[in-house]
Chains A and B, each alone.
Chain A
């Protein structure tokens, strides 16, 4: 399910984004609720036709950012542009934007069909009822709810309601579709199906999607670009691959995928590489990412799948004891305790060494990784 542009580098993507017109922009946008700073100094350009995700933990301001695009909140400072026009204070009903609400917000006094037709009926000039019916039928097909037109909302399950909410938005073919955790209530299988459906829809209709999620897997598999947010701020924006390979902070590395972090002190910088001395005295050379200078507290980030296990040690390897071992089919996950670095998670592929497959709790192992596989990141 990887998209072709996943392997586009950051520069290639930026070029594309600049080349194609941006459909929406947030310029220095902040939003205060009383004393709560929900969004701070947010800057973002959303390119025409892209699939962008806001990723971040609960309460980090994702919904607020989306609501400012939809027009339900006015930025305290800064500007919101849609299609090049300043819409910071434009009423929601005048914006060419549709939203799938986190809470669905379906009309309980209307049937499923009427809910979906609602937006079409607001169009001026009017659309004739035959084409409204056709569009509604088609939208229901898309979300796999054919024949549910006359159902009442309360007769639908949570997941079905969520799909009705989705159909109610996409049927309008807006320029910008905002989705606030639209798949959160679905079971795994249906969720996967709907994710693929969303992706197809986005390609077919050419609509720009902005998706809010706190599910990193969903963000990684669907998005052209991801905005990682933290406490109202964008920490990093990039393609899924960028974020995975080049996180600019420990926070991003931790949020996008999993990683081992070893605290240390930066003692040398040489262009884009540097060295860090870890607790226990070992020094590792590695690539730098994010804002770091010599003498800073930093951390070395190593993804679990990048760590190699050996049965015998050399001076370069780290010695550890297996604490736990979880068989995951293709991979085996080890939790290894290391004297000075603490617990380390290692994800070893199945086909590795004969002896390794017999490793059990309490056994001694040796670990290393290639310099390219690790990153020195600012400690936040």
Chain B
């Protein structure tokens, strides 16, 4: 369980996160939604400890991540997996080496064991016959999936995905979404997914947090999202005029 408590974050005076509070439970896919530039990535990076919060606290199972020393933090880091917005695969390593990387750094597995585990993870995300390719040689959707494979290689307790399906076609997006949801339930992972894709919201959102200009404006489930009374969220959900029409027809 991850608790975000009154987190503020600014970059040299430019306020990006404004008093965010949230809780993320294991076994659930938690979604953070919001427009581009609303602060989703920054929030996720604060949770993962890649940005220092300006004030506030982040608790991992009740223990303050902000006040931990580097060694304790490292222990928790080993239980995190993250899929970055651009995939962030290591260019100079092959697909297989990318997935084996965390295993090599943090386990005492033999080469054969590592390869086996890497191949298992790659199969899990439906990547076959690409083991010896370099990231630049595979498509964007494949890169995202390899990134997921790398993130789950160490059986993480926490999985963070920053827009795992941005730039992908709707079919592949849904595949990736469902994959994330399955993994989350299968291994009881605390998963946080950033997205601005309404398809994902409807498909996998167990719990949804809406961020608007760095502030949390709403939280709830995908069933509740159509009738929240929050204007900014309405504008986000029913962004197109056609959607608004459909909504108004429905209400009448």
> Do A and B actually bind?
no
